[in-house]
Amino acid sequence: MSRKKGFQFLFGFLLAFCFATSAFAQNGIITGKAIDAETGGALPGVNVIITGTDRGAATDLDGVFRIARVPVGSYSVVASFIGYAKTTIDNVQVVDGQATTLNFTLAIEAVMGEEVVVTAAALKDSEGALLKDRQKAAAVSDAISSEAMSNSGAGDAAAAMKKVTGASVLDGKYVYIRGLGERYSLTTLNGAELPSADPDKKSVQLDLFPSSLLDNIVTLKTFTPDKPGTFSGGLVDVSTKSFPEQFFFQFSSSAAYNSMTTGNAQFALPNSGGSDWLGFDDGTRDLPALLQDPAAEFPRPNAVRTREEALLLDRVSKDFSNVMAPIEASAPVNQSFSLATGNQIEVGKSSAVGYLASLTWGQSYSFYDNGEIGRWNLAGPLADVEALDPQRLFKDTKASREISWGGMARIAYKNPGLGHISASYMRTQGAESNARSLSGFWSDLPSTATYETRVLGWIERSMNSYQLEGQHQLPFLNSEFEWRSSYAINNQDEPDLRYFSDHFTTRVRNGETQVIYQSPASLYPPPIRYYRNLEEKTFANNFDLNIPFTTWNGGKSKLKLGMQVSDIDRDYGQRRFEYEEDGISYRQYGPDVNAYFGAAGIIDSTSSDPSRWIFGNVITEVKSPRNNFTGTQSTLAGYLMLDMPLTRSLRFIGGVRVEDTEMRGVSGDPGQPEGLLQNTDYLPSANLVYQLNSRMNVRLAYTHTIARPTFRELAPYTNFEFAGDYLFEGNANLKRTLIRNYDVRWEWFVNPGEIVAVSGFYKDFENPIERYQDNSVPNGLLSVQNVQSARIYGVELELRKQLGDLISPLRNFSIGSNFSLVESQVDIPEKELFVIRANDPNASDTRAFQGQSPYLFNIDLSYSNYEAKFNAGLFYNVFGDRLSIVTEGASPDVFERSYGTLDFKMSKNIKGVKVAFSAKNLLDPAIRFSQELKGQDFIYQQYNRGTTYSISLGSSF
């Protein structure tokens, strides 16, 4: 069976299974949660009984109960627990095949006798529920629910994070929180750490997570000892869908049009394979069979001495695809679909098994041909120059096709006596096919020459995550034991990444225009093919023990202790193949690139010396063991944390975490030094929460955290990155960064789903890691270094409000907004400062953090009419200029310039079918990176993305 038919069969099977399952739904279900009225915490062991029947259940460790197979009708439901007032709920309506959700709030015995009518429990996929969690949380946090993701049109976790206070997203993948780069953020999936699929970064690529698979994303901004200590900006916890209380099936599909891409006849991509639509290469881009073994040897042209050697070289060269230029084709519309199903099945009288499965797929196209690239040089002391000298000025054209899909399956068993055990698997797959070309002026060439370079690439990324976890109530001190075992594998493959550069001049002879092409090896590298692959594995075990106790003043407290054992292994390999031609320049090269590389390998032999062979274009492998590396990291951590009320209004959460870590980055060249970090860190944390009233808190926090270099930064080798047009070199002498964090927040939970919050923070860094650029190296060298110290501080404002409370006619409108002001100072190393001040004596001795914006602003205006089942929203986001690249010496640094994005979405439910329309990037601002000198702006890179219009259909039952 083909993959495509198999995929269609799987969809049909799931659809049939879901209909079959729903056909057996007869009686109704009563489900819900019991919480403590004083603390808001879950109450396990509460007896929930349906009056006048023998049906009932006890709440589990999460305070959740479920009574299945309840005949249709109206009932009274009673919840009772020792030491608490019995609570009765009347007129509970049970509907055939549906779940009725109740939320019990139990008060201490002093209020016995009260009966309340409770409302439906809020799940953690709504904004109101998440705000309630934030109010009771131990740490300063922000969150976005699946409800908000859907309303804003965010297609993945990265797009959703743009709505979080103080968060910005770079390259559509990497999250910066509070102006701090991706190294200062940490990503977890359902509480388990994730590896990175990027060879150069620590951060997880959040665009791998389709929003349809997610329940919520919570961002912790202060450290507590039960979390890893390797973040300072924020810990981003991505939570997948939780188990439903009744059977459901959902399906949606969408199509989108981009103003710059869809239907554009200039759109061009590399050759493709039959399984590209699934994000897999089918072998089209594989190395030839003769070269699959890295130890394979074949002769260079000048070393061929026999006919057999010549034939081998000829065969190897011809086995490579001759495609070195993109193929033009009109870009189709973007497409996506998703489906999900789940249910809970009763096992006995008090146990249940729940399952959830989902699948998403999408592909999108992007294109621009109005891009600009500039490289500039400061040609003397600042006082003597009025402008930067151009080194390269290029026109930039880029086309890409992105494919992404994800699947998730979760199963859980719940039993009041045993506890809760669940297993989950998540797979995400993403791929990008791209073609990019640059052409224009290069100062190393004659003024009449035009330089051009091309890249054809395919990047394939995948993540497999396996998790097994449990929660159990122990008789020992009435404690709760939680454990989690996780294993994740991230892969990134780049097969047949192709570069080719040349230049041409035009001249007129005898009235005829001639175009002469050249590709001299003395100026730039010959045509190159790269094969790169990265695999990173993370294995972790977490154990937590929660021991409740009562303080001297009767306050309910908790002692929490635990440990974590984790191992990370990374392997990166690269093979490089270059074309050699018989002669110094590519004399036969013309405008048809593919024809040139398809020429015969061996063309003749000299008659004077039959042992000499004359070749055309042949392949040679440039072996460089130092460009391969391995990385390992082992961490053993333990912690002790106390959560207790000091008074009725003041709560303390604090303790200490100890992390013992060994991290190694080893080049494949034995002669290169080994990057090594061995540290034992003691990380204290102290959080105070003062409850001004039932809806208002003041939070204070003081914590110590750390940041480590990436494996790539620690591995001391150099490689070329075409995407950034630079060489990157690691540094084996890097140290970890030590960070002291100070936080304060005032928060007012005005009404359900509404908040007003003001936060302030200050962070002090010792040995922060900064990237810098050395312009003395041809094409530029980017490397990393520790600088002495840095500081960052700022203020955050957040508002979510229903406007109907202020102006009655606006009762269906709501507004959400957040604003961040951030200032940072990084000490410039003395050696670098000396060079800078030689050209600019008045230069500052500090600069901003890389990636830090001086301000971030989000605002949205939403309209929701529940009777009409209609929703609409307008969403705006803007950030201030942020430092992108630190240049060496007095040359101006490169900044990404401020721009704003405006999105619109509306949806209408028509007879059970949700129809939605969205327009993204309505303003279509230029994405611009530039250097500034004496009031003049010099473009480093600039392009536009176009506006995307989409329509989607969805249904659920």
pLDDT digits (tens, 9 = 90+) for 320-333: 888 888 888 889 99
pLDDT for 881 equals 94
How many Å is the Cα radius of gyration of the chain?
Answer: 31
Strands of the 28-36 sheet, one edge to the other: 64-70, 28-36, 99-106
Domain ranges of the chain: 3-111, 334-591+624-956
pLDDT for 792 equals 93
pLDDT for 174 equals 76
pLDDT for 682 equals 97
Per-residue pLDDT tens digits for 427-480: 989 899 999 999 999 998 988 899 999 899 999 999 899 999 999 988 888 899
Is the separation of the CB atoms in 450 and 21 below 8 Å? no
> What CATH architecture applies to the domain 3-111?
Sandwich (2.60)
With CA atoms as reference, report the closest residue to 955 among 250, 146, 338.
250
Per-residue 3-state assignment (H helix, E strand, C coil) for 497-561: EEEEEEEEEEEEECCEEEEEEECCCCCCCCCEEEEEEEEEEEEEEEEEEEEEEECCCCCEEEEEE
- Taking all residues of the chain, what is their mean pLDDT, rounded to a whole number? 83
Is the separation of the CB atoms in 900 and 878 below 8 Å? yes
pLDDT for 372 equals 96
- Pick out the chain residues at pLDDT < 50: 1-25, 110-123, 583-586, 601-602, 606-608, 723-724
CA-to-CA dists, residue 912 to 16, 338, 908, 954, angstroms:
20, 17, 10, 9
Beta bridge partners of 167: 177
pTM for the model stands at 0.80
Q: By CB neighbour count within 10 A (0-12 exposed, 13-18 middle, 19+ buried), where does 828 fall?
A: buried
Per-residue pLDDT tens digits for 820-874: 999 999 988 877 788 888 888 888 888 888 888 899 999 999 998 878 889 899 9
d(CA 799, CA 876): 14
d(CA 373, CA 941): 5
Angle (CA) 42-45-50 rounded to 5° is 100
pLDDT for 609 equals 56
pLDDT for 17 equals 36
d(CA 911, CA 899): 40
Is the separation of the CB atoms in 509 and 450 below 8 Å? no
pLDDT for 493 equals 93
Q: Which two tokens stand for residue 185?
A: 């953020």
d(CA 684, CA 229): 10
Q: Which two tokens stand for residue 310?
A: 């010549």
Q: By CB neighbour count within 10 A (0-12 exposed, 13-18 middle, 19+ buried), where does 486 fall?
A: buried
Q: By CB neighbour count within 10 A (0-12 exposed, 13-18 middle, 19+ buried), where does 584 fall?
A: exposed
Place of tokens 């000299």: 606
Superfamily of domain 334-591+624-956: TonB-dependent receptor, beta-barrel domain (2.40.170.20)
Q: By CB neighbour count within 10 A (0-12 exposed, 13-18 middle, 19+ buried), where does 650 fall?
A: middle
pLDDT for 16 equals 40
Q: Which two tokens stand for residue 550?
A: 């009562």
d(CA 706, CA 768): 10
Angle (CA) 838-839-840 rounded to 5° is 100
pLDDT for 582 equals 55
Is the separation of the CB atoms in 848 and 877 below 8 Å? no
pLDDT for 111 equals 34
d(CA 259, CA 948): 6
pLDDT for 687 equals 95
pLDDT for 165 equals 80
Pairing of strands 882-885, 894-896: antiparallel
